[in-house]
């Protein structure tokens, strides 16, 4: 069964404050004309997706916060280059991916992957429902992956980019990306078993 | 009976501490039990000392032993638990624990140490140490063991086994249908009742296989420069495909003589005996391959 | 009995990109091998969990004021969509500059990996993503080398970032193991230059690379 590429168009999460979907093309046009007031609803409509990406790619809430804000600032800077060839959410997502990867490469020190000691004492004594438990496990396990493996897994298996697209983002050969992806999957299966 | 005062004092101390050895001030005695599902998943982290796991027929976990310069944490639910020995003070102490953990027979464990020795009897799981030794016995559903330079000894029966060491010695005795044994420079010695699918590989370590193979099976032996020795039953049926790229083949199993490889630097031997049987492939870069009769 | 699925086959099967030529053999093997069918199932479950992961995560706070403040402070004016402007020279375009930066980073990463350990005495340049030119090699060797070199380079970086958490003797043993394996790889690759399609050599090379990956993975997992 092929893994279908997921649509990367941003959709508001159910139950979010945005009760109606904004007219994104109209807002984009206003932002391109310099109206910062029009940028706020775009931010609110897309921030969840961007934050999720930054969080998963970095495994670090502090950096995810900084990167999310940087993404929107960059979006504001470069929105003039958005020509509507794709959905705005798709374009924004690519801006986010590029920024996260740039920042990662520029970081001098790799984050250590540390299993928080506190979680041993905080483990619930009553097991959560199977599905939620598994989801939390997956997110936690993703955060323990080595950076490159984590990035490729998030981009391919969660966000739906192809190997070629990821290779273009990262500047690495598709074969190398496949190796990282396979490794990520192996590590996750091991940790989740 | 007359007892000296000293003896009385020791006896009193012994009674006060439950009759065991006297604890030092930094030591903590552990005797804990937790309800556990019959197929509980258990993670154990004990950097130094020893960890011994035993299977029993109860739906509970029992942890006994001592912890020195650290604390034992245990948490989780019936289905998944973690046990860890750590230094909670942040003073960079090196906790040492000697633990015996009894687990339900259907449990699946994941044990990690740095220098601590690991021993398990009848317990399925994954055992990992940096330099501690690992010894696994009894019957299990699957066994996986890795040590950087510790010795790994298996005396068990399990359908599926994966063992790796860098420079330690691998000693594998028992019955394993699907076996991977790998070392960098450590020797590998296998005494096996039967293997159906296997891969035994080393870079510079010697490999010595003594045992039988299951009909229809497929086993690969790879070594860069170590000597690969196969001691085979005389009645063995199957195909043996042996190549040493720049080393030699010593066949004392049959009268066949090896031929030179295409470059002339090494030797090849291709034997077929009977029908069906096992397929054995042996590859060496510059080591010697030896075939002997059991 | 056919050998177990290689990892590559497993992932290609689940991703739906397994070449038709091998598909029948793989399907037949899975039908008769409990272990491999379980591996396939586990991977499918993992990917299903990944696909069902929430698309968005609500941030813990409202960052709009900070973003707006940054934009105002920097007095950033968005570049308007101005049609019919003469195009800038290609080398000044963001993608070209980014590509140049990526190349520089890739080169420096390769140098870092070399600095971490003495390189094997391999007379062949690596067919890697570093952008180095490569003498002609068999496609199979080139693919194997590219995949493994890329992966081991990253693993070396991971190991280097964690080595302080291992006992010094363990670090020394890991490095010794890697040296032993690298020498083996060098020797095999040297002979492969004369016999690029020698299956035995390629299998031995694959074994050595797998062992190198296993040593590095074990070393990094030991401190995670």
Distance in angstroms (rounded) separating the CA atoms of residues B232 and B212:
7
Closest approach of A124 to chain B, Cα-based (Å): 6
Distance in angstroms (rounded) separating the CA atoms of residues C83 and A26:
18
Q: Which helix or strand (DSSP H or E) is residue C161 part of? A: helix C139-162
A147 and A84 share one domain: no
A37 and A97 share one domain: yes
Angle at C84 between CA C80 and CA C87, to 5 degrees: 85
A103 and A136 share one domain: no
In a 10 Å sphere around its CB, with 0-12 CB exposed, 13-18 middle and 19+ buried, how is residue B8 labelled? Answer: exposed
Q: Which helix or strand (DSSP H or E) is residue B74 part of? A: strand B71-76
Q: Is A132 on the interface with B (CB under 8 A)?
A: no
The CATH number of residue A31's host domain is 1.10.1740.10
Q: Which residues sit opposite B67 in a β-bridge?
A: B28, B97
SS3 B279: strand
Residue that wins the pLDDT comparison between C190 and A113: C190
For the stretch B181-229, pLDDT in tens is 999 999 999 987 788 888 999 999 999 999 888 888 889 999 999 999 9
DSSP code, position A171: T
Put simply, the answer to whether B114 touches C200 (Cβ < 8 Å) is no
pTM assigned to the model: 0.66
Indicate the residue of C71, C79, C150 with minimum beta-carbon distance to A36.
C71
A135 and A101 share one domain: no
Residue A189 is assigned to a structural domain of this protein: yes
For the stretch C22-34, pLDDT in tens is 788 899 899 988 8
The CATH number of residue A177's host domain is 1.10.10.10
A107 and A27 share one domain: yes
Put simply, the answer to whether A40 touches C64 (Cβ < 8 Å) is yes
Residue C66 is assigned to a structural domain of this protein: no
Residue that wins the pLDDT comparison between A140 and A155: A155
Residue that wins the pLDDT comparison between C123 and C148: C148
Put simply, the answer to whether B79 touches A127 (Cβ < 8 Å) is yes
Distance in angstroms (rounded) separating the CA atoms of residues B99 and B46:
9
Q: Which residues sit opposite B96 in a β-bridge?
A: B48, B68
Q: What is the arithmetic mean of pLDDT over A18-25?
A: 74
Give residues with Cβ within 8 angstroms of B205, minimum separation 6: B183, B184, B185, B186, B187, B188, B223, B226
Structural domain ending residue among the three candidates A62, A78, A112: A112
Q: Is C93 on the interface with A (CB under 8 A)?
A: no
DSSP code, position A154: I
Q: Which pairs from C145-149 meet CB under 8 Å and 24+ separation?
A: C145/C189, C146/A173, C146/A175, C146/A176, C147/A175, C147/A176, C147/A178, C147/A179, C148/A179, C148/C209, C148/C212, C148/C213
For the stretch B130-145, pLDDT in tens is 999 999 999 999 999 9
The set of chains that have 3 or more CB pairs under 8 A with A is B, C
Distance in angstroms (rounded) separating the CA atoms of residues C67 and C69:
5
A104 and A135 share one domain: no
Looking at residue A131, its pLDDT comes to 53
C69 vs A contacts (CB less than 8 Å): none
Distance in angstroms (rounded) separating the CA atoms of residues A166 and A174:
8
**Do residues A42 and A53 lie in contact, with contact meaning Cβ atoms separated by under 8 Å?**
no
Residue to substitute from B82, B109, B162, interface A, most A β-carbons within 10 A: B82
- Tokens coding C137: 């090699």
C217 and C119 share one domain: yes
Structural domain ending residue among the three candidates A64, A85, A112: A112
Closest approach of B239 to chain C, Cα-based (Å): 13
**Do residues B122 and B54 lie in contact, with contact meaning Cβ atoms separated by under 8 Å?**
yes
A147 and A182 share one domain: yes
- Tokens coding A99: 């920024």
ipTM above 0.90, yes or no: no
In a 10 Å sphere around its CB, with 0-12 CB exposed, 13-18 middle and 19+ buried, how is residue C143 labelled? Answer: middle
Residue A56 is assigned to a structural domain of this protein: yes
Structural domain ending residue among the three candidates A49, A84, A112: A112
| Terminal-to-terminal C-alpha distance of chain A | 22
A106 and A140 share one domain: no
- Tokens coding C106: 């890739």
- Write down the residue that tokens 């194997």 correspond to: C144
C103 vs A contacts (CB less than 8 Å): 171
C202 and C127 share one domain: yes
Distance in angstroms (rounded) separating the CA atoms of residues B47 and B96:
7
| Terminal-to-terminal C-alpha distance of chain C | 37
CB atoms closer than 10 angstroms to residue B45: 21
For B196, which residue in chain C has the nearest alpha carbon? C1
**Range name among A35-44, A121-130, A160-169, C209-218 with the lowest pLDDT average:** A121-130
Task: From B189, B268, B179, B264, select the one nearest B226 (Cα to Cα).
Answer: B189
Q: Which helix or strand (DSSP H or E) is residue A152 part of? A: helix A147-153
The set of chains that have 3 or more CB pairs under 8 A with B is A, C
Q: Write down the number of H helices and E strands in chain C.
A: 8, 0
**Do residues C192 and C201 lie in contact, with contact meaning Cβ atoms separated by under 8 Å?**
yes
Q: Is A127 on the interface with B (CB under 8 A)?
A: yes
Put simply, the answer to whether B128 touches C1 (Cβ < 8 Å) is no
A141 and A177 share one domain: yes
Print the domain residue range for A52. Answer: 18-112
A24 and A104 share one domain: yes
B74 vs A contacts (CB less than 8 Å): 120
Distance in angstroms (rounded) separating the CA atoms of residues A91 and A9:
9
Closest approach of C113 to chain A, Cα-based (Å): 14
Put simply, the answer to whether A125 touches B77 (Cβ < 8 Å) is yes
Task: From A104, A17, A13, A2, select the one nearest A50 (Cα to Cα).
Answer: A13
- Write down the residue that tokens 């009760």 correspond to: A19
Print the domain residue range for C147. Answer: 108-221
Indicate the residue of B182, B196, B285 with minimum beta-carbon distance to C184.
B285
Residue A82 is assigned to a structural domain of this protein: yes
> Per the structure, how many domains does chain A have?
2
Residue C84 is assigned to a structural domain of this protein: no
A62 and A90 share one domain: yes
**Do residues C205 and C192 lie in contact, with contact meaning Cβ atoms separated by under 8 Å?**
yes
Residue A2 is assigned to a structural domain of this protein: no
- Tokens coding C60: 């813990």
- Tokens coding B129: 């140490």
Residue C89 is assigned to a structural domain of this protein: no
> Per the structure, how many domains does chain C have?
2
Put simply, the answer to whether B131 touches C173 (Cβ < 8 Å) is yes
Tens digits of pLDDT across chain B (294 residues): 343 444 433 343 333 333 445 555 578 999 999 999 999 999 999 999 999 999 999 999 999 999 998 899 998 889 999 999 988 777 666 899 999 999 999 999 999 999 999 999 999 999 999 999 999 999 999 999 999 999 999 999 998 899 999 999 999 998 888 899 999 999 999 987 788 888 999 999 999 999 888 888 889 999 999 999 999 999 889 999 999 999 999 999 999 999 998 888 899 999 998 887 899 999 999 999 999 998
- Interface A-B, measured as beta-carbon pairs within 8 A, has a size of 26
């Amino acid at each position: 069964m092929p893994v279908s590429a997921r649509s990367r168009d941003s959709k508001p999460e159910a139950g979010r404050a945005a009760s109606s979907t904004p007219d994104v093309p109209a807002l984009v046009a206003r932002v391109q004309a310099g109206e910062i007031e029009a940028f706020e609803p775009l931010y609110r409509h897309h921030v969840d997706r961007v934050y999720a990406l930054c969080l998963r790619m970095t495994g670090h809430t502090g950096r995810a916060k900084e990167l999310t804000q940087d993404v929107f600032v960059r979006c504001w800077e470069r929105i003039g280059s958005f020509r509507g060839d794709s959905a705005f959410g798709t374009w924004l997502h690519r801006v986010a991916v590029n920024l996260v990867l740039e920042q990662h490469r520029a970081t001098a020190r790799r984050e250590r992957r540390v299993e928080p000691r506190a979680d041993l004492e905080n483990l619930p004594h009553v097991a959560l429902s199977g599905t939620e438990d598994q989801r939390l496990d997956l997110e936690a396990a993703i955060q323990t992956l080595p950076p490159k493996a984590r990035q490729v897994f998030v981009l391919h298996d969660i966000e739906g980019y192809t190997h070629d697209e990821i290779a273009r983002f990262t500047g690495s050969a598709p074969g190398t990306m496949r190796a990282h992806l396979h490794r990520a999957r192996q590590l996750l299966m091991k940790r989740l078993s | 009976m007359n007892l000296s005062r000293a003896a009385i004092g020791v006896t009193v101390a012994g009674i006060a501490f439950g009759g065991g050895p006297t604890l030092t001030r930094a030591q903590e005695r552990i005797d804990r039990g937790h309800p556990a599902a019959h197929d509980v998943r258990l993670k154990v982290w004990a950097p130094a000392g020893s960890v011994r796991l035993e299977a029993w027929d109860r739906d509970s976990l029992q942890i006994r032993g001592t912890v020195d310069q650290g604390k034992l944490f245990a948490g989780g639910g019936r289905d998944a638990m973690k046990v860890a020995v750590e230094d909670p003070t942040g003073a960079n102490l090196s906790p040492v624990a000697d633990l015996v953990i009894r687990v339900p027979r259907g449990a699946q464990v994941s044990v990690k140490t740095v220098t601590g020795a690991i021993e398990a009897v009848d317990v399925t799981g994954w055992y990992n140490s940096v330099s501690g030794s690992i010894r696994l016995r009894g019957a299990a559903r699957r066994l996986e063991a890795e040590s950087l330079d510790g010795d790994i000894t298996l005396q068990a029966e399990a359908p599926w086994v994966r063992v790796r060491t860098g420079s330690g010695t691998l000693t594998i005795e028992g019955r394993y249908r699907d076996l991977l044994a790998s070392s960098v420079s450590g020797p590998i010695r296998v005494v096996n009742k039967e293997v159906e699918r296997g891969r035994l590989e080393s870079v510079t370590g010697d490999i010595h296989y003594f045992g039988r193979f299951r009909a229809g099976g497929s086993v690969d032996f790879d070594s860069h420069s170590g000597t690969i020795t196969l001691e085979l039953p005389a009645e063995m049926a199957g195909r043996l495909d042996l190549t040493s790229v720049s080393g030699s083949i010593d066949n004392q199993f049959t009268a066949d003589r090896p031929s030179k490889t295409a470059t002339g630097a090494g030797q090849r031997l291709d034997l077929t005996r009977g029908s069906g049987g096992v397929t054995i492939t042996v590859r060496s870069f510059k080591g010697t391959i030896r075939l002997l009769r059991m | 009995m056919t050998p177990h699925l290689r990892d590559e086959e497993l992932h290609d099967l689940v991703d739906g990109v397994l070449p038709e030529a091998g598909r029948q053999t793989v399907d037949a093997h899975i039908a008769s091998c409990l272990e491999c069918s379980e591996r396939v199932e586990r991977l499918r479950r993992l990917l299903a969990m990944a696909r069902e992961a929430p698309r968005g995560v609500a941030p813990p706070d409202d960052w709009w004021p900070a973003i707006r403040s940054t934009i105002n402070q920097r007095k950033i004016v968005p570049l308007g969509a101005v049609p019919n402007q003469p195009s800038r020279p290609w080398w000044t375009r963001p993608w070209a500059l980014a590509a140049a930066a990526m190349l520089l980073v890739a080169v420096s990463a390769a140098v870092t990996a070399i600095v971490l350990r003495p390189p094997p005495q391999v007379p062949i340049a690596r067919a890697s993503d570093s952008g180095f030119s490569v003498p002609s090699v068999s496609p199979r060797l080139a693919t194997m080398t590219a995949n493994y070199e890329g992966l081991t380079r990253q693993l070396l970086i991971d190991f280097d970032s964690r080595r302080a958490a291992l006992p010094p003797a363990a670090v020394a043993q890991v490095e010794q193991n890697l040296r032993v394996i690298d020498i083996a790889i060098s020797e095999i690759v040297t002979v492969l230059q004369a016999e690029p399609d020698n299956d035995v050599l390629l299998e031995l090379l694959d074994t050595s690379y797998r062992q190198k990956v296993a040593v590095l993975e074990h070393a990094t997992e030991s401190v995670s």
